[in-house]
Amino acid sequence: MKLLRHTLLVIACAAALTPAAQAQATKPAAKPATKPVAKPAAKPATRPTAKPAPVAKAPVAPPPPPATPAPAVSAPRPAAAPAKASATTEPFGVGSNALNLGIGLGSRYGYGSGLLGGSSSVSPAISLSYERGFMPLGPGVLGLGAFVGYQGAKYDLGGGDKWKYTDLIVTLRGAFHYPVTPQFDAYGGLALGVRRAGVSFEGNSFAGIGSSSASELTTGLFVGGRYFFTPTIGAFAELGYDQSFLKLGLSAKF
């Protein structure tokens, strides 16, 4: 009886174990476990580089003063044409302006002298002239300008009777200037213009005569020189046959 129970218990255990064994046999084979990827080796820790010991700084000398640059050497300029007279190196050159203020002595006009046995007197002429260097002309310069002069005269008949004369001329002038030295300017030229002459009577012998005036064309010829004491101030003298025979005075250049 006990043997029968033991046999049945073995059979039951075998039956119970058979489905479990079959189920285990039907299961797919387990996948091989993936190995973990090896991590890269850790970088070696960098040790901090030891800082070099501070070096004592030597005292810095102050910088030397900057050298003065040498002046630039400009290319030589071409020499000026010799035909042109310079207004700065010559007494009268192209572009120079000159002004003369003078007193004239003598007169080319008689003013009735000796007409009726009386005597005549002529006052000094006052003149003002302007001239500008216009263009080079040979070794010198051609100057063009204008002249204004005034002169008075009297003719005394005696007994309180007299004639009075006034003489005004305005002319254009052209002159050739030659630089004798850097201070002395010699010149000569011609003048052409208008003369306005007036006459009036004072006295009792010819009552009612009154006065009269007339204009006429006049010409002149002159030579002279200017000497400059400074670059702008000088004196001049001039001989001519225009309003007066001799003119003396001051000159200014600008």
**Residues recorded for the chain:** 254
C-beta separation of 163 from 112 below 8 A: yes
Domains contained in the chain, CATH given: 97-253 (2.40.160)
H-type helices in 127-210, by residue range? none
d(CA 218, CA 171): 8
Whether the Cβ atoms of residue 111 and residue 165 lie closer than 8 Å to each other: yes
The owner of tokens 């302006």 is: 97
* pLDDT value, residue 232: 95
pLDDT at position 25: 38
Determine how β-strand 140-158 pairs with β-strand 161-179: antiparallel
Which stretches of the chain score pLDDT less than 50? Answer: 13-30, 32-34, 36-38, 40-42, 44-46, 48, 81-88
Eight-class DSSP state of 55: P
Provide the pLDDT for residue 82: 45
Residue type present at position 222: F
Task: Tell me if 246 sits within 8 A of 222, measured CB to CB.
Answer: no
Q: Which residue has the tokens 């073995």?
A: 10
- Quote the CA–CA distance of 211 and 199 in Å, as a whole number: 6
Structure tokens at 61: 């000398």
Burial of 237 (0-12, 13-18, 19+ CB in 10 A): middle
pLDDT of residue 43: 54
Please report the pLDDT score of residue 76 as a whole number: 60
Residue 6 CA, chain-centre distance (Å), reads 143
